[in-house]
Amino acid sequence: MKKVYLLLFLSLVSGLVSAQVRVSGKIKDNKGHILPGASITIKDSYDGGTTDSSGNFSFKTYEKGERTIIAKNIGYKPVEQKITIDKEPITLSFNLKEEINELSAVTVTAGSFSAGDKQRGAVLSSIDVATTAGANADITAALKTLPGTQQIGEQEGLFVRGGAGYETKQYIDGTLVNNPYYSSVPDIAQRGRFSPFLFKGTVFSTGGYSALYGQALSSVLLLESIDLPEKSEIDASISPLLAGLGTQQLAKNKKSSWGINYNYTNVALYFGIVKQTPDYFTMPQFHSGDANFRFKTKKGGMVKYYTTFSYNQLGLRRQDIDSLNLKDAFSLYNHNWYNNLSWREYLGRGWKMNLGSSFSTNKDNFSQQLQDANNQLKQYGSSTFWMQAKGFTNVGRQDLAQAKAVFEKKLAGISAIRFGTEYWHAYNTNAYNDTLRKLTENYNAVFAESDVYLTNDLAAKLGVRFENSSLIQKADIAPRVSLAYKTGKDAQVSAAYGIFYQKPEYQQLFYTTNVGFTKATHYILSYQKMSITQIFRVEAYYKKYDDLIKTIPVSYNYYSYNNTGSGYAQGIELFWRDKKTFKNFDYWFSYSYVDTRRDYMNYTARLQPNFAATHTASLVTKRFFTDIKTGFSLTYSFATGRPYYNFMVNNSGKYYLADQGTTKPYNSLGFSAYYVPSAGKTNAKTNTVVFASITNVLGANNVYGYNYSYSGLYKQAIVPPAQRFYFIGVFLSWGVDRTDDAINNNL
Amino acid sequence: MKQLFFIAGMFIASLTMAQSKYEAAMTKGLQMYKDAKTVADFQETSSYFERIGDAEKNQWLPFYYATSALYVTGWMDPKADKDKIAGECSVILTKADALDKNADLYCMHQQLDVMQMVVDPQTRWQTFGAAASKALADAKRADSTNPRIYYLEGRTVLGTPEAFGGGKAKAKPLFEKSIALFATYKLPSPLHPNWGKDEAEKALAQCQ
C-alpha cells in the first residue's frame, strides 16, 4: 500500500520537476499570408501563445504525452492537431481557412443604394429623408439627391439613368405598389403616398437589380416596413397645412403591436398667403387614414398587415395656350385603398419563407373644361377638334391583387438559394367621355436566385426570372448576374449585368394589346469604399433599350402602338458622403453624367429625351447644434438644361419635329431647420420636433419644359405653381417606454 | 481507516493544488495586464486569460479579463476598428455571460456599447446608447453597491453635452457616490475586478 502512496506522490511532484518543452511555429492563412495575433493553445491547459507580427509563435509547456493543440484566429476556422509532447522541442505550422461570415463578407452593391436605419451599408436613414432640406419628408424627393436620378419637377416619379418615370417601380415588403404617388396633375409633380417612417429599410436600385423583381426597365425602390415599433406612443402633428393624430401600441410582451393614424391636409390657408400661379377653384384637400397590425410568430417570424385609405380633391384653372381669352379648368377626385399582408417565417434547417400579398384599388375621376373670362363653360365642335378635346371627363380605375412567395435556403457558409413565384391580377377600366375601355391582366412569374460566396472576398449573385403576361400574351426570360470582389479594407469592385422587361403602360394597352414587352439590358461597373462614417462610390453603366413603344397617330384622338423604338443610356456617377471630417457636420455630394438617346413614343429619331439632363449634381449638408438642440440642412441641386420638343403630325399622318430647344439650367437651394428639445434623452416621455423648411431659397426661375399651342407657333414655359414652398409644423409624440415597465416588473 | 483518510487527504491536497494553479495563473495574468504597454501586449494578455477560461470551463473571471484586455486596445489607437474589436470582445464576453451574471459583467457590456456608440454617436445613440444605459440598469439590479457602475455612469454623463442633460455638474455626484462606495467595497477575492477608484478620483478632479 505504501508503494501506491509513493507512486501517487511522485506522479504529483513529477509534474512540477520535469523540464519544460518549447513549442514554436508559424500560423498562416490558406493563401500563405501570415496571421499576426492568432492564438495557439494546448487544449484543456493554460499553455499557449499568440503569433507576433511575422506570424511566429513560441511558448513553453510542462504538459506531457498526447495532447490536442488548437490554432485559431477571428474570422478563420479553428484547426486542431494531435501532438505528442516528450522532451524534444516541437515545431508546428498551421494553415487556417477563412470562415465566410456576414460581417466580413463582401456584399453585392452594384447599382443599388441601401437606405435604412439598421441595415448594413445604409446610405440614408429615415431620419435623413425627413431632415434633408428640399425633400420635405418625401422619400422620392430625398432619393433625388442620390446619383442616377433627374431633377424633374413637372411630373412625379424617379427618372433613373435616362429612363422615364414609369420605368421605376416601388415595392413594399416584396409586392408591387400600383399607385405609389398621389394622382397626377398636369405639370405639377405629386408627393409619394407613404411616409419614410413606415420603413426600416430601403434599397434604391438604379440598375442591375435582383431576379426577385420585374416589370421595371430602369430601377426599383424596395421598401421594407418596420417590424414592431420600439415603444407605444401617441403621435400628433400640427401645421397650417396639415393636422394628424395617431397611435402605435406595442404589447407588453413586445410580441405584437397595432396602430392607427389619420391625417388631414388642406392648403387653403397656405395658398391664401403664398400666391400660386394656377387659380385653385377647389382647394387641394387630402384625407388619409391608415392602420396596421403586426405580430411575432413562435419561431421568430413576423406577420404584418398594413392598410391605408386616402381621398383627395383639387381643381385649378390655368391660361389656355391656344386662346388668350380662355382658361383650362382641371379637377381631380381620387380614392385610393391599399392593403399589404406579409408573413416571414423561419422553417428550420436553414429555410426561410417570405409570403407577401397586397390588394389595392385606385379611382381617379378627373375632368377638364374650357372656361371664358367669367369662368363659364365654353364648348367647341369637331371642326376645331383640338379645342373640343380640351373638354373631357375621365374616370379611371386600377385594381391590383397580388401574391408572392419566396423561399430561401442557407447553404454552406452564408451562400443561399432563393426561389419563388408571384402572381398579379390587374383589372383596369377607363371611361374617357363616353368611351369605356376595360383590361384584365393575369401576370405571373417564377424566379430563382443564388448567392454564391466563393471566399469572403468574392461573391456572385446569379438569378433568372421567367415572366408571362396574359394581356399581351407574351413570355420572357430575364437573366441577372452580379459580382462583387473585395479589393481592400472596406473597398470593393462590383459588376452587374441583367435583362429587364416591362409591359407597355395601360394608356397604350387600352388602344392595342398587340404589343410585346419593352426591354432594357444593363451593364454596370462600380467601385466603392465605405466605412461607417464615409462612403465613396463611382459607378459607370451602359444601358441598352430595345422594343420601346412607338406611337402611330391614327386620328386626332386615336393612336396605335408598336415596339419599334430603341435607345441607349450611358454614364458615370459619383457619390461621396462624409460624417467624419468635420465634427457634427454631415454632407453628401452626388454627381451624374448621362449620355442618352432614344427613339420612342412620338419621337422622330433617336433624341435626348426631354426628361434627361446631361449633368446633375446635388450637395446636401446637415449640422446639428447640440447646445441649441437645433439642426439645419441645406441642399443645393443643379442640372444642366433639358431638351424640349414639339412633334406635330404632317398631312400624311406622320410625326415631324416642328421645334426644339433646351431649357436653361436648373438650380435649387433648399433649407430646413428642426428643433428637437428632447434630443439626447433616451427616455424622454414627450418628443417634440419643430420643423421648418423653404424650397428654392434663392428664387431661381426654373423651367421644366414647354407646352406648345396647336399651331406650334406659341410656346409656354412649364414652371412650378409657386417659386418657393414654405413649411412649418410641430410633430409631437408621447411615448410609453416599455423598457421601464420591464425593469419595474422584475424588481 | 487511516489509509482512507490519507487517500482523502491526498485527494483534497491535489484539488487545492489545482485551485492554486488557477490562482497562480490568474495572478500571473493580472501582472501581465499591469505590465502591458503595447497593443500586442494586451492582445497576448487577452489570449492568455482566454486560454485559462477555456481550460477551466466554469470560471467567469478569466473571460472577464480577456474581454477587458482586448477592450483596452480599442482606445489605444484612434484609428482602431472599434466595431471589430467590440465584436471580438463580445464573443469572449458571451462565454462569461454563460457562467455568471453580475454587475461587473454588465459593466463590461456597457463599456462595449459605449465603444460602439462613439463610432457614429449621432445615429447610434438611440441604439447603443440605450443598450448602454440598459446594461447599467441591469448592473444596478445585480448589485447596486458596485462602485464601478457609478463611475461608468458618471463617464457617460460627463461625455454628454450639457444641453442633453450631461455635463460636469451632473456627473460629479455620480463620481462621489462611486468613491464613497469604494470605501466600503469588499473585494470578493484578490482575483476579482479591483479597478475604478483611481479613475473615479481623477474624473472627480476633472469636475471641479
Residue A12 lies in a domain: no
Say if residue A739's pLDDT is above 60. no
User: Between chains, do A680 and B161 touch, taking CB under 8 Å as contact?
Assistant: yes
pLDDT score of A14 = 45
- Do A569 and A609 contact (CB within 8 A), yes or no? no
Q: DSSP label at A704?
A: -
A666 within some domain:
yes
> End of a domain among A96, A123, A147?
A96
Query: How many domains does chain A contain in total?
Result: 2
Residue at which a domain ends, from A63, A96, A129: A96
Q: Are A610 and A593 in contact (CB under 8 A)?
A: no
Domain residues for the domain of A58 are 17-96
- Measure B161 CA to nearest chain A CA, in Å: 7
Q: Is residue A547 part of a domain?
A: yes
Give residues with Cβ within 8 angstroms of B11, minimum separation 6. none
Q: What is the largest CA-CA distance in chain B?
A: 76
Same domain, A45 and A122: no
Q: A580 and A556 in one domain?
A: yes
Residues of chain A with C-beta less than 8 angstroms from the C-beta of B161: 626-627, 680
HEC assignment per residue over chain B: CHHHHHHHHHHHHHHHHHHHHHHHHHHHHHHHHHHCCCHHHHHHHHHHHHHHHHHHCCCHHHHHHHHHHHHHHHHHCCCCCHHHHHHHHHHHHHHHHCCCCCHHHHHHHHHHHHHHHCCCHHHHHHHHHHHHHHHHHHHHHHCCCCHHHHHHHHHHHHHCCHHHCCCHHHHHHHHHHHHHHHHHCCCCCCCCCCCCHHHHHHHHHHHC
Cell numbers of B130, please?
440605450
Beta bridge partners of A378: A370
Looking at chain B, which residue has its C-alpha nearest residue A52? B40
Q: What's the whole-model pTM score? A: 0.81
- Domain end among A70, A96, A122: A96
Q: In a 3-state reduction of DSSP, which class is residue A601?
A: strand
Let me know whether A90 and A211 are in one domain: no
Residues A58 and A202 in one domain: no
Question: Taking CB atoms and an 8 Å cutoff, what residues of chain B touch A44?
Answer: 54-55
How far is it, in rounded angstroms, from Cα A565 to Cα A643? 19
Shortest CA gap B76–chain A (Å): 16
Instruction: List, for residues B56-110, the tens digit of each pLDDT value.
Output: 989 999 999 999 999 999 999 888 888 889 989 999 999 999 999 999 999 999 9
The predicted pLDDT at position B4 comes to 62
A592 and A499 both lie in a single domain? yes
- Report yes or no on A2 lying in a domain: no
In one-letter notation, the amino acid at residue A428 is: N
A45-65 pLDDT tens trace: 888 888 988 889 999 888 888
Among A5, A53, A682, whose Cβ lies nearest the Cβ of B129? A682
pLDDT, tens digit, 9 for 90 and up, residues A365-406: 999 999 999 999 999 988 898 899 999 999 999 999 999 999
Looking at the structure, tell me whether residues A354 and A292 fall in a common domain.
yes
C-alpha span between B112 and B131 (Å, rounded): 10
- Give per-residue burial for B117-153: e unless 16+ CB within 10 Å, then b: bebbbbbbbebbbbbbbbbbbbbbebeeebbbbbbbb
Both A85 and A121 in a single domain? no
CA B126 to CA B120: how far, in whole Å? 11
- The residue whose grid cell reads 462600380 is A526
Burial class (CB in 10 A: 0-12, 13-18, 19+), A8: middle
Q: Domain for residue A10, yes or no?
A: no
Residue of B49, B52, B164 to mutate, interface with A, max A Cβ within 10 Å: B164
- A419 and A478 in a single domain? The answer is yes
Query: Is some CB atom of chain A closer than 8 A to the CB atom of B90?
Result: no
- 3-state secondary structure at position A179: coil
How far is it between the farthest Cα atoms of chain A? 130
Section A400-421 average pLDDT:
91
Is B51 in contact with A41 (Cβ distance < 8 A)? yes
Cβ distance A627 to B120 less than 8 Å, yes or no, reads no
- Chain B residue numbers with beta carbons less than 8 Å from the beta carbon of A45 are 51, 55
Same domain, A614 and A551: yes
Instruction: For residue A349, give the C-alpha cell.
Output: 434547417
* A226 found inside a domain: yes
Residues A73 and A183 in one domain: no
Q: What is the DSSP string of A49-68?
A: EE--TTSEEEEEE---EEEE
Q: What is the CA radius of gyration of chain A?
A: 31
Domain CATH for A30: 2.60.40.10
**Cβ A46–B83 below 8 Å, yes or no?**
no
Q: Is residue A11 part of a domain?
A: no
Give the nearest partner residue to A626 out of B83, B133, B161, using CB atoms.
B161
pLDDT(A313) > 50:
yes
Res. A738: pLDDT tops 70? no
| pLDDT of A496 strictly over 50 | yes
pLDDT tens per residue across span A420-430 = 999 999 999 99
- Residue A58 in any domain: the answer is yes
For the ranges A106-115, A406-415, A513-522, B160-169, the maximum mean pLDDT occurs at A513-522
Mutate to test the interface with A, among B11, B47, B65, B143 (most CBs of A within 10 A): B47
Query: Residue A219: beta bridge partners?
Result: A168
pLDDT of residue A682: 56
Q: Hey, is the C-beta of B133 within 8 angstroms of any chain A C-beta? A: yes
Q: How far is CA A233 from CA A124, A280, A685, A691, A734, in A?
A: 25, 37, 9, 20, 5
pLDDT > 70: what percent of chain A? 92
pLDDT tier for residue A703 given thresholds of 50, 70 and 90: very high
> Cβ(A620)–Cβ(A133) under 8 Å?
yes
Q: Centre a 10 Å sphere on the Cβ of residue A642 and count the other Cβ atoms it contains.
A: 24
Give me the residue label for grid cell 481550460. Answer: B55
pLDDT attached to residue A594: 97
What is the arithmetic mean of pLDDT over A277-288?
95
A159 and A72 both lie in a single domain: no
The separation between the first and the last C-alpha atoms of chain A, rounded to the nearest angstrom, is 59
Euclidean distance between CA atoms A465 and A447, whole angstroms: 4
Position A80, amino acid: E
Test B119 with A532 for CB contact under 8 angstroms: yes
If DSSP states are collapsed to H, E and C, what string results for A181-224? ECCCECCECCCECCCHHHEEEEEEECCCCCCCCCCCCCEEEEEE
| CATH at residue A397 | 2.40.170.20
Band of residue B3 on the pLDDT scale cut at 50, 70, 90: low
A197 contacts in chain B (CB < 8 Å): none
Q: Say yes or no: A384 and A438 in one domain.
A: yes
Cα A342 to chain centroid, rounded:
19
C-alpha to C-alpha distance for A466 and A477, rounded to whole angstroms: 5
Interface A–B counts its CB contacts (< 8 A) at 85
Best residue of A682, A683, A743, A744 to probe chain B, by most B CBs closer than 10 Å: A682
